[in-house]
Amino acid sequence: MQQNSSSWVAVVGGGPAGLLAAQHLAEAGLRVRVFEAQATVGRKFLVAGHGGFNLSNAEEETRFAARYAAHAPAFTRYLHHFSPNSLRAWAAALGIETFVGTSGRIFPTADYKPAQLLRAWLARLQQLGVVLQTRHRWLGFAGATGLRLRDEATGTEFTAQPAATLLALGGASWAKTGSDGQWLTILETAGIQCEPFAPSNCGAEVAWSVFFREKVGRQPLKNVALRCGPHTVRGEIMLTEYGLEGTPVYALTPHLRAALAASSPALLHLNLKPDLPPPQLMARLGQRRAGSSWSSFLKETLRLGPPVPTLLRELGMLDFPAEAAEAARLLTDLPIPVSGLRPLEEAISTAGGVGWTEVDDHLMLRQRPGTFVAGEMLDWEAPTGGYLLQGCFSTGAWAARGMRQWLAHSGLISAPQGEQPGQRRQPE
Task: Please name the helix (run of DSSP H) or strand (run of DSSP E) that holds residue 12, with its range, or none.
Answer: strand 8-12
CA distances from 349 to 105, 109, 145, 170, 385 (A): 18, 25, 30, 9, 13
Count of all residues that appear for the chain in the document: 428
Rounded-to-integer distance, Cα 161 and Cα 370, Å: 11
Q: Looking at the predicted structure, is the pLDDT value of residue 426 above 60?
A: no
Q: Looking at the predicted structure, is the pLDDT value of residue 264 above 60?
A: yes
pLDDT number for residue 416 = 53
Q: Looking at the predicted structure, is the pLDDT value of residue 147 above 50?
A: yes
> Among residues 278, 304, 300, which one has the least CA distance to residue 289?
300
| Burial of residue 26, with CB atoms counted within 10 A of its CB: 0-12 exposed, 13-18 middle, 19 or more buried | buried
DSSP states of 321-340: -SSHHHHHHHHHSEEEEE-E
* 298 within 8 A of 284, measured Cβ to Cβ: no
Rounded-to-integer distance, Cα 335 and Cα 329, Å: 11
Let me know the angle formed at the C-alpha of 239 by 235 and 243, rounded to the nearest 5 degrees.
110
Better-scored residue on pLDDT, 333 or 51: 333
Q: Looking at the predicted structure, is the pLDDT value of residue 413 above 80?
A: no
- Say which residues have a Cβ less than 8 Å from residue 37's Cβ, sequence separation at least 6: 135, 136, 137, 138, 152, 178
Range name among 72-81, 175-184, 245-254, 263-272 with the lowest pLDDT average? 175-184
Overall average pLDDT of the 3-18 stretch: 83
pTM, 2 dp: 0.90
pLDDT number for residue 8 = 96
> Among residues 207, 307, 201, 205, which one has the least CA distance to residue 249?
201
Q: Per DSSP, which regions of 124-171 are E strands?
A: 131-134, 136-142, 146-151, 156-161, 165-167
DSSP symbol at 343 = -
Rounded-to-integer distance, Cα 239 and Cα 381, Å: 24
Backbone angles phi, psi at 399, to 5 degrees: -65, -35
Rounded-to-integer distance, Cα 401 and Cα 398, Å: 5
Rounded-to-integer distance, Cα 30 and Cα 396, Å: 16
Rounded-to-integer distance, Cα 47 and Cα 427, Å: 33
Mean pLDDT, rounded, of the chain: 91
Let me know the angle formed at the C-alpha of 402 by 396 and 405, rounded to the nearest 5 degrees.
145
Q: How confident is the model at residue 411 (pLDDT cuts 50, 70, 90)?
A: confident
pLDDT number for residue 427 = 34
Q: How confident is the model at residue 428 (pLDDT cuts 50, 70, 90)?
A: very low
* Helix, strand, or coil (residue 387): helix
Q: Give the burial string for 372-390 (b: 16+ CB within 10 Å, else e).
A: bbbbbbbbbbbbbbbbbbb
Rounded-to-integer distance, Cα 187 and Cα 166, Å: 14
Question: Which span out of 52-66, 128-142, 297-311 was modeled with the highest average pLDDT?
Answer: 128-142
pLDDT number for residue 424 = 36
Better-scored residue on pLDDT, 29 or 7: 29
Overall average pLDDT of the 307-322 stretch: 86
Rounded-to-integer distance, Cα 380 and Cα 366, Å: 18
Identify the bridge partners of residue 228 per DSSP, sorted by sequence position: 231
Rounded-to-integer distance, Cα 317 and Cα 320, Å: 6
State the greatest distance between any 2 C-alpha atoms of the chain, in Å, as a whole number: 86
pLDDT number for residue 5 = 45
pLDDT number for residue 410 = 86
Q: How confident is the model at residue 319 (pLDDT cuts 50, 70, 90)?
A: confident
β pairing state of 165-167 and 8-12: parallel
Overall average pLDDT of the 14-27 stretch: 97
* Pure H helices in 263-338: 278-285, 294-302, 308-314, 324-332
User: Which domains does the chain carry?
Assistant: 2-199+346-409 (3.50.50.60), 204-341 (no CATH)
Range name among 14-28, 98-112, 378-392 with the lowest pLDDT average? 98-112
